[in-house]
Structure 1
């Protein structure tokens, strides 16, 4: 008797069910969920998050806070970095290979070969796993947009959260901030409160108009809650009072805003002091200004201060540049690989002021990688000394030989970051 297929085999098979990776509609998801008996109706209370930047970090902080108060939490994210299992956390633990294989198999059988995207069918698998395991909360992060995202099938979540909205994925979501905000705000539901992080005015106007139509109470930064960094601490204030907390453990000034949204969510959900402290001190979110301290890459360049970040749009570039500017003075070099769907000039322009050089790489195994020579060309155009290398390791080795005590940031894509984490153990 042959062995049962692994999750990797089933996932590869699922890639063939639709010619496009992204095709935004909810029809196929509704069809499969109905065939599965509507697991989305049996989820523990749902907190649904959308936004361009910060939704992953904000979700990680909310989860850390909930778990500090002994809550069992399901969590769904995308994309994964090293292994698909990272996308589905069941009652606090990454889904097991056995449970993932079973859920994927069941979705494959129920789908009966019909057209459905990879993200849609795997989201249905996550709902199956969540519906069958008791928990106190379910954290759902949208994959792309909101209105037509496969996660947007829960009629009445407990809470929605909108993190900062900026330009990204314009080919799917619209060319303007207002159009993109309209898609992201599609997760708002009638009567369900929504926590809103800092937004451009054009985005906030759209969000407020939709909330008014739906009677959805808004909890917006700058209006209903405020957060700031003061004397190395973080101060959060809303109508319930003031919280004086440690600075977020996730690096970057932008994480103060993300932490504020997480605290607003936790307060609205009725959690207490232990949750607030843990949200800012215990969150774990890899590849967001993550310091790499061990592994083959650090061993290959022992004097280098090595960082990894998966941000990939202009707002992420600005946040990175700001954070790099706050670090102790040290020559900074970039190793960058990006997808050909991104605004590379917009991403790199802010970084040109804080980095001495950029070494461009193509993303291994990624069909939509921007060729290294194109990344280098744009980097040079925005004022960065640019070169190319065949691999991240080759780039790092060359930088270490020329500047042995430098700071190096590997950046530009979550797909590149995932490859780095896999190779670095």
Structure 2
């Protein structure tokens, strides 16, 4: 079950005794409700911790991580830091992720710990063979178990699909790159994924198009969204018709759609009408 907004005052707290809890990488989002600093947001996120219920998180900045630790201690919640995915791959075949982007490795590491803990607390078999754990470099939290992911876990990571998240759709000469990133950190991760995807493409004349939308209380003036020194070959076409000739001459057109889940959802409905049925 995914929390809607924050954690401390979210309706999912009606579940008084969850099996396990997890906090993924924190970002500046919903600041009008959660607070205008990462520490305030971490306090809200820590509201999902429950007495005696194991919880896991991924590496966070020192300040927010300290807040999460304090929140866990206040309710006697055992909180663990997820080791990187590399540690679980050590000496075994690399894990294949269905979701692209380097940042998805952090999410996968958290998902594996949550799955293993759930199976363990439900007395299920096939939870993965434990390996020798390496000490946590952060020293703020105990390190979660380092184990060998089972075949079903590997298949789950490989077969995961998430429409609108690091998703690529090819439509003739157009390739659409869809990601609902809407915070500074997630937009940065989206840009890294987009660049990596383009590096795998063949050469030839190409055009890159950005469709971006920012909603709510998000600040479109954030430096991450600005281009202080545009490349020499960058052509700006604020009106679509003015760039039509450039698009017609291109061998390939790469369209990045990001900034808002509403925008990505609307584009997906146009590209794949079956999603709205």
Q: Shorter-normalised TM-score: what interval? A: 0.7 to 0.9
1:150 corresponding residue in structure 2: 11
Q: Pick which of 395-404 and 193-202 moved more.
A: 395-404
SS at match of 2:18: coil
1:158 to 1:321, Cα distance in 2 relative to 1, 3 A:
same
Deviation string 1:151-170 (CA, Å, 9 cap, x unpaired) is 12111100001000111111
- Do 2:207 and 2:246's aligned partners in 1 also have CA atoms closer than 8 Å? no
Matches within 5 A, 1:59-208: 140-208=1-69
CA distance in structure 1 between the aligned counterparts of 2:267 and 2:159, rounded to whole angstroms = 24
| Runs (5+) with no aligned partner, structure 1 | 1-139, 229-234, 358-383
1:219 to 1:314, Cα distance in 2 relative to 1, 3 A:
same
Q: CA deviation at 1:344?
A: 2.2
1:409 aligned to which of 256, 265, 272: 256
TM-score by length of 2: 0.76
2:158 aligned to which of 278, 281, 295: 281
1:260 corresponding residue in structure 2: 109
Q: CA deviation at 1:320?
A: 1.1
State whether structure 2 residue 194 is matched by structure 1 residue 324. yes
State whether structure 2 residue 183 is matched by structure 1 residue 313. yes
1:341 corresponding residue in structure 2: 217
State whether structure 2 residue 85 is matched by structure 1 residue 227. yes
CA distance in structure 2 between the aligned counterparts of 1:284 and 1:395, rounded to whole angstroms = 36
Deviation string 1:5-25 (CA, Å, 9 cap, x unpaired) is xxxxxxxxxxxxxxxxxxxxx
Aligned length: 237
- Do 2:108 and 2:157's aligned partners in 1 also have CA atoms closer than 8 Å? yes
CA distance in structure 1 between the aligned counterparts of 2:46 and 2:213, rounded to whole angstroms = 30
Deviation string 1:207-266 (CA, Å, 9 cap, x unpaired) is 111111222112213xxx2323xxxxxx526xxx97543231201000111111111111
Deviation string 1:81-103 (CA, Å, 9 cap, x unpaired) is xxxxxxxxxxxxxxxxxxxxxxx
CA distance in structure 1 between the aligned counterparts of 2:81 and 2:16, rounded to whole angstroms = 22
2:97 aligned to which of 248, 253, 264: 248
CA distance in structure 1 between the aligned counterparts of 2:214 and 2:106, rounded to whole angstroms = 26
SS at match of 1:246: coil
CA distance in structure 2 between the aligned counterparts of 1:147 and 1:395, rounded to whole angstroms = 49
Deviation string 1:71-130 (CA, Å, 9 cap, x unpaired) is xxxxxxxxxxxxxxxxxxxxxxxxxxxxxxxxxxxxxxxxxxxxxxxxxxxxxxxxxxxx
1:317 to 1:351, Cα distance in 2 relative to 1, 3 A:
farther
CA distance in structure 2 between the aligned counterparts of 1:314 and 1:410, rounded to whole angstroms = 15
| Runs (5+) with no aligned partner, structure 2 | 120-125, 128-149, 200-205
1:385 to 1:283, Cα distance in 2 relative to 1, 3 A:
same
CA distance in structure 1 between the aligned counterparts of 2:250 and 2:85, rounded to whole angstroms = 39
1:99 corresponding residue in structure 2: none
CA distance in structure 2 between the aligned counterparts of 1:211 and 1:333, rounded to whole angstroms = 44
Q: CA deviation at 1:423?
A: 2.0
- Do 1:262 and 1:279's aligned partners in 2 also have CA atoms closer than 8 Å? no
Q: CA deviation at 1:408?
A: 1.2
CA distance in structure 2 between the aligned counterparts of 1:402 and 1:171, rounded to whole angstroms = 45
